[in-house]
Amino acid sequence: MPFRDRAEAGRGLAKALAGYKDEHPVVLALVRGGAPVAAEIARALEAPLDLILVRKIGVPYQPELAMGAVVDGAAPLTVRNEEVIGVAGVTEGEFAAIRDRELAEIHRRRQKYLAGRAPIDWGGRTVIVVDDGVATGATTRAALRAARRQNPARLVLAAPVAASAALRELRAEADEIVCLEEYERFGAIGAFYRDFRQLSDDEVAAILAQFPAPVPAPRP
């Protein structure tokens, strides 16, 4: 059943995740589309909201087909889909060039969204990674692996809708998956929303501004 928009999908997920409220989780949004979904969850759970900056690495002649993904960080994490790389005949040079281009876009977004904002330390906490949907799972897998690097106590993936095949592969990456609707036959994520317009940078920044980063407790 199509969702009206990402906010409606987020409210539905927030109800499904209500049991996590007492764990004082951190909510991480994949941008851009995951931000309005995650905002509804963070609001309902009274949780801090942060972003995880991940970009799909698309096949040169078919950018929507993921041959990997890259995530922001001091040591950026790259996840490769060797099967797609091989079938598409992509060379190492071509892969590296597209990865570097996506890293540049991540850097631009970091400056736009997060400049001057202290990062949230989620080590030892429950972390809920949120997107507006999961199709192939390439970017989601990269985001989960990056989140795992900070050693959360529990890592949860939350998505309104997903491809069943992708969820099966992602169960090894998350401690729990909460998904409202999953389908064996899955096309584009946008088909499951009546309003699936692309968000602007300013809209993402405005969403994040509603959730100021918590002030770190002073060290003893």
Domain spans of the chain? 6-52+120-209, 56-113
- Asked if the 6-52+120-209 domain carries CATH number 3.40.50.2020, the reply is yes
Name residue, tokens 């995880």: 52
pTM of the model: 0.91
CA distance 96 to 161: 31
Identify the segments of the chain with pLDDT beneath 70. Answer: 1, 215-220
In sequence order, the 6+-apart residues with CB closer than 8 A to the CB of 154 are 23, 126, 127, 175, 176
DSSP H helices in the chain? 6-16, 34-45, 82-88, 92-114, 138-148, 164-170, 201-209
Which amino acid does the sequence have at 211? Answer: F
Q: What is the pLDDT of residues 74-125, one digit of tens each?
A: 788 999 989 999 999 999 999 999 999 999 999 999 898 987 788 888 999 9
Predicted pLDDT of residue 217: 45
Question: Angle between the 6-16 and 34-45 helix axes, to the nearest 10 degrees?
Answer: 40
Q: Are 66 and 56 spatial neighbours (Cβ–Cβ below 8 Å)?
A: yes
| pLDDT score for 216 | 52
